[in-house]
Structure 1
Amino acid sequence: MLMYLKEQFEKQGWYVLATASKEKAITAFYELKPDCFVVDVHMKDCTGFDILSFLRDKTKQLFVPIVMMSVDNQRETRLKAFKLGADDFFVKPLDMEESLLRIGHHIERKQMFNSYLMFDELTGAYNRTYLKEIYSQQLSSYDRLKDPFCLAILDLDFFKRINDQYGHLMGDRVLQAFVEYMKHEIRPTDHIFRYGGEEFILLLPKTNIKEAETVLNRLLDLFVKKVFTHQSNSFYCSFSGGVVEVHNTEWPLEKALHQADEALYIAKESGRQKIVASSQSKLVKKRTLRMAIIDDDSIIRTMLKELLSKIDVGDRYEVKIEVFKDGIEFFESQWIHSSDQYFVILDGMMPKMDGLEVLQKLRQHKRHDQYKVIMLTSRNSEQDIQRALELGADDYMTKPFKLMELEARVRHLMKKVK
């Protein structure tokens, strides 16, 4: 059913993350803020009700439509789903045409809601949609008055550790406290936006780069002294920032964001908890991203290597691509012994060590977070797909597949590479 729904949904042009894991589903809900969340009542190690109960407080803050489905059409089951926050209930076997239409309506309502809302639901910061409008206003102001302004990208340091150690609800409180702190400390004319996850944008009108650095360093020095408490534990949080001065009406928002993001990357690479101006961003060497193709078919290896070599990863990474005919050759290679980030395209069926064994070994690695994995499987390998999802594959594709579709999935996962 998981495979079938993923296939049907993707035919609509939707990007679909399919998982049989409660933990992975909850993590995806928090990190991806999906346009729709579909969960079955009956699962292997838990129930859909368990997941809804866990997310109940969260869904009141984030408007994410939730659809439950089940073979059980009893009134009590449906009522329980709606009481826990479900927006719709599908009875299996599904009428796929009707199901797609109903999910499509939920997604349209979510996107319409986002377009009208200026504020991020969780933190109260402005959202990305409003960022475009304010940036355009600043460009117009510069055109008239010639006063430069600055754009900064701020990223909370090691935020994943807070979620892992204290839970996502504590992580939410940290995000809310950060925005509340920023609103209190910045000028009334400044604007704070939530850009995504733990990343925020700060727009500083009538501010040059030196003034912006001074302001941001002051904000950082004060924020790191703020104490957070969880039960009997206390901890601190910091942020890193990249800032750029805009003094050209021809600069689109994308260019300013790119420049600030490059500076932020340097701040994180050089130890975090610091502010870097974009003018310094050319002084530090690029980070290495290693892409591995593990497949026993030499034609497939050559084709995938050519595809990966054409993907634009921006100026942040130096990409190194290697191919391996099986898992044993991969693990025996010295190429994998580094602190770099890895992106792995892994064939499910191989001699000596198959893809599932490779994936299991990767996930047991003490630095398993270094690896993003796409599993390639045959259409008839339902059990292998289920096992791959249980072992933590980030995505899977069934053969034969279109190269453009694989490229789209690679690009999507690339956004999650830190």
Structure 2
Amino acid sequence: MNPSAVHHVSSSLDITSFFDIYKANVVRTRSTITAIVLSVFDQSIFAAEDLEYAEQEMTLFLQHEIRQTDLVFKLGVPFEWCIILAHSGEKEAEAFLERLQSRVQLKVIPLFNQYDAAFLASIAEIGNSDVELEDLIEHGRNALVHANKEWQIVYVNHYKAKHLETVKISILEEDEIFRNVLKNSLEGLSLKHFEIEIETFSDGYLFLQSKRYLSSHTHLVIMNDILPRKNGLEVLYTLRNLPNNKKIIIYMMTKRKTEEDMIYAYEHGVDQYVMKPFHLRLFEAQIKRTFERLWS
């Protein structure tokens, strides 16, 4: 069963398994999900004979209000639900609750004509896969203890931190001094969300022999077009014929400035054409922009 097609999950299904799929997607897509623990502000407004009916109607109402990619399920405590909003952060969760409030005030189901119901909610934005569903719900429910008025929202901030993503960087440059300048420059960059592993090579042959490019990690290759033994274009052909070539970003450094040379390089898979000599700070800005796009 695909969670993208699920509106709700019955008690007979394993909720935890579905949540594990959602949080795995957080890592894979670098997005966030948000968990809402929702409770009725004052359960005493319901007549005893209407409690079961009211809870069922509210559950159906919530199932109708979520998207196909979201998940809602009843908790073990009366009039409490957990809602998982896929690809959403705190702001999206707030907007969802505002829409919920307006729908309640519009009396969209008969229950809201009979009872003036209102909700409390906690919001937990999840940016990593370390969270367990049981702990998430417990923190959400505990947060509700501090809510004391209708439609109040409280926040759980335990799960926002995102894991750093490892990116390999390979520098292919014959000149040792310039090679080290580039390495030191990259090591000094502040790259949010990423940790980098840099290795340098004096020619294309050594790089290809290293097999470093055979990896599932994103790999930034910064290379001169003229190199001993295996030049930059030969390395380029090899990399662009790999199954994982979409994970490889290629910066080509060159002294060739003709339009034909640039077109040839781009047509054969270069992502960024850097003409020598270049300003180091400009180069650093280009690298930072590449990493920003990686995260977006």
Provide the TM-score with structure 1 as the length reference: 0.37
Give the corresponding residue for 1:384: 261
Give the corresponding residue for 1:401: 278
1:240 aligns with 2:87: yes
Distance in 2, Cα, partners of 1:395 & 1:353: 20
Q: Deviations over 1:42-92 (max 9, x none)?
A: xxxxxxxxxxxxxxxxxxxxxxxxxxxxxxxxxxxxxxxxxxxxxxxxxxx
Q: 249, 270, 279: which one pairs with 2:158?
A: 279
Distance in 1, Cα, partners of 2:265 & 2:158: 44
Q: Is the 8 A contact 2:171 2:199 kept in 1?
A: yes
Q: 337, 341, 354: which one pairs with 2:231?
A: 354
Give the corresponding residue for 2:294: 417
Give the corresponding residue for 1:64: none
Give the corresponding residue for 1:223: 69
1:302 aligns with 2:149: no
Distance in 2, Cα, partners of 1:287 & 1:157: 9
Give the corresponding residue for 1:343: 220
1:327 aligns with 2:217: no
Give the corresponding residue for 2:45: none
Partner-residue secondary structure (3-state), 1:344: strand
Runs of 4 or more consecutive aligned structure 1 residues displaced over 3 Å after TM superposition: 155-159, 198-202, 208-212, 238-245, 379-384
Distance in 2, Cα, partners of 1:219 & 1:334: 47
Q: Deviations over 1:15-41 (max 9, x none)?
A: xxxxxxxxxxxxxxxxxxxxxxxxxxx
Q: Relative to 1, partners in 2 of residues 1:224 and 1:326: Cα closer, same or farther, differing over 3 Å?
A: farther
1:385 deviation in Å? 2.3
1:375 deviation in Å? 1.0
Of 329-338 and 399-408, deviating more is 329-338
Q: Is the 8 A contact 1:326 1:352 kept in 2?
A: yes
Q: Is the 8 A contact 1:348 1:384 kept in 2?
A: no
Q: Is the 8 A contact 2:33 2:88 kept in 1?
A: no
Q: Relative to 1, partners in 2 of residues 1:364 and 1:278: Cα closer, same or farther, differing over 3 Å?
A: farther
Distance in 1, Cα, partners of 2:181 & 2:27: 38
1:371 deviation in Å? 1.1
Structure 2 residue runs of 5 or longer lacking an equivalent are 1-24, 40-61, 72-84, 93-123, 133-155
1:158 deviation in Å? 8.6
Q: 177, 190, 199: which one pairs with 1:312?
A: 190
Distance in 2, Cα, partners of 1:417 & 1:347: 23
Q: Relative to 1, partners in 2 of residues 1:379 and 1:243: Cα closer, same or farther, differing over 3 Å?
A: same
Report the AA paired with residue 405 of structure 1. L
Distance in 2, Cα, partners of 1:288 & 1:157: 12
How do 1:17-96 and structure 2 match up within 5 A?
none
Give the corresponding residue for 1:289: 167
Structure 1 residue runs of 5 or longer lacking an equivalent are 1-154, 160-197, 203-207, 226-237, 246-258, 271-276
Distance in 2, Cα, partners of 1:337 & 1:219: 42
Distance in 2, Cα, partners of 1:301 & 1:404: 16
Distance in 2, Cα, partners of 1:157 & 1:244: 20
Distance in 1, Cα, partners of 2:160 & 2:209: 36
Q: Is the 8 A contact 2:167 2:219 kept in 1?
A: yes
Q: Relative to 1, partners in 2 of residues 1:387 and 1:404: Cα closer, same or farther, differing over 3 Å?
A: same
Distance in 2, Cα, partners of 1:349 & 1:219: 57
Q: Which of the two has higher C-alpha Rg?
A: 2
Partner-residue secondary structure (3-state), 1:304: helix
Q: Relative to 1, partners in 2 of residues 1:156 and 1:289: Cα closer, same or farther, differing over 3 Å?
A: closer
1:199 deviation in Å? 7.8
1:210 deviation in Å? 4.1
Give the corresponding residue for 2:138: none
Q: Deviations over 1:174-219 (max 9, x none)?
A: xxxxxxxxxxxxxxxxxxxxxxxx98999xxxxx96459xx99x84
Distance in 1, Cα, partners of 2:232 & 2:248: 14
How do 1:202-221 and structure 2 match up within 5 A?
210-211=37-38, 219=66
Q: Relative to 1, partners in 2 of residues 1:356 and 1:381: Cα closer, same or farther, differing over 3 Å?
A: farther
Identity of aligned residues (%): 27
Distance in 2, Cα, partners of 1:321 & 1:407: 15
Q: Is the 8 A contact 1:291 1:322 kept in 2?
A: yes
Question: Would you say how many aligned residue pairs link Structure 1 and Structure 2?
Answer: 182
1:364 aligns with 2:238: no
Report the AA paired with residue 226 of structure 2. M
CA RMSD across the alignment: 4.3
Q: Deviations over 1:249-308 (max 9, x none)?
A: xxxxxxxxxx96xx44x259x9xxxxxx752245x7532111111111111110000111
Give the corresponding residue for 2:57: none
Partner-residue secondary structure (3-state), 1:339: coil
1:403 deviation in Å? 0.3
Give the corresponding residue for 2:3: none
Q: 1 or 2 for the larger relative contact order (CA 8 Å, sep ≥6)? A: 2
Distance in 1, Cα, partners of 2:263 & 2:157: 45
Distance in 2, Cα, partners of 1:344 & 1:278: 37
Report the AA paired with residue 265 of structure 2. A
